[in-house]
A and B are shown apart, each in its own frame.
Chain A
Amino acid sequence: MSETVLTNWINPLGTLLNAPGGIRIGDALKQAAANLELIREPCLEELDQRIGQLDALSSEHGAQPDDAVKLEMYQISNDIHAVAGVVALADLSAAAFSLCELIDRLRGKQAWNKPAIDVHIASLHLLRSSSDEDRTSIVDNLYRLIDSVAPIASKPDVKKQAHASSSDASRSA
């Protein structure tokens, strides 16, 4: 049996945050929203650039890219997922999450499906450029697509994960 040591630690963060002064939570959140608004344009530029990178990688490396390219595409999709959600492009964020899931499943199977990848990238373009489409159905169809081309035995609820608002998706380690 391994030795386990328990240490009780008085968390100083709580003491610091409760010290007199500071900022009201309502004001802090308003200020944060204002700060994020200031970087909205650079965030949108990054999204366009990252989607362009996905386009280039997919077209340059053909039907069987090496694993480094697959990983790069996965990381780019993850960055799009993170940034799009912050600038209130929830459907774009969810579509990028779907692409992450597809790439992860395909890598796990040592496989690749360029048409399915390209459909995702085309959807990212569409969700970024148009507000008229039925955006929710685009994302729903992407989830169906990955379940069709890369099914897994114990299927996670990708839709639920992608739409998990940060307010209910955290879990303690």
Chain B
Amino acid sequence: MSEKGLELFEERLTLIDNAIKFKENSRVPIYGLVSNWMLYYLGMSAKEALANPDAEREGYNKAVGEFKFDALLSSLIQLPSVAAKVLGGGSITDNESDVLQIRTSDSELMGPDEYDELIADPVGFMRDKIMPRRHEFLKSGDIEAQYATLKEFYDLGAVRGMQMGKNEQYLKEELGVPVPAAGGGFMPTDIILDYLRDFSGIMVDIRRQPEKVCEASLAMLEPMIKSVDAANPVPRRDKLIAIFTHIPGYISPKAFEIVYWPQFKKYLEHFSSKGHRWMILYEKNWEHLYDFLLDSPKKSILGFFEEDDIFKGKKVLEGSIAFAGGIRTNDLYYKSKQENIDIVKRVIDECAPGGGLVLAPDKVMHTNADGKTENLQAVIDFAQEYGKYK
């Protein structure tokens, strides 16, 4: 264990915490919203990383040390799920790609007339109806064979979990880099979208039976809160409950108010009242929903905004939600080093005063098209100096 590492770890936690609270900071923190892009940086394929976890870990840690991020999305790369293959793939695309992808148009597992069943017993409905519709092997064979398949699935997941846990400890103790994301799950409406009704199904439901979507989401929220409560029994200085949102960017404020906001607000308030803080990935554009966001718990959320205009968003959400962004992946790939520096300079000039700013890529970096190494490095080097509060 390195004393310097732990000291740095504490410094970085303070940077993030101060940003969330809009408190005075020594400099603007930089969040490494980076996933499989690291594979490109390392010149390694996902297949090679899977075959050689030691090389993956060593390469990842070397890259983390070089980029000097103040926090990371994950303690290792998000590899294609070997475990999912054991179940027959599920919703994961098996395409030999280096990116973990969810197969589209393959998740209409629930009918539009089944909402009442989902509302009456969300866990029972998903167990009895959705699980066998998702996985063919659950429709036949004896229970011991099914159990053996599931055990293999969980054993593989546990191995990866241990690798990630062990490396999170290393990142903390030796490199001083926190990995704040704590499991907060997906919001129930997003589970309905991703795994029950698929995109076209839920969009029709939102038009034709929005109250049912809302009721189902609230019914699903109850067991979800219990589960997340148990996983996060007390607030931790090094952890933020993480939520990745999916559907809000596609729906109107009116629809959002009916189907999404009730569960979202209830969820945020439940954990905020206990002192938890959040990192929320507001996927797509949320500018039409700022009136709702302003009613979120204040100074306890680090919001990663994918497509929002940072200059507008930072101003509107000032004093409420800390804004993470300002480094556009598109610019990192297509623009020059100097152009990227100029963009980040403007972000710091206009958005850093008053606190509440964390520099981060606007999207999770997955592929090499999400940014050129030299541009990302140049932006970070620049921001570490220029982003100091005087």
Are chains A and B native binding partners rather than an unrelated pairing? no
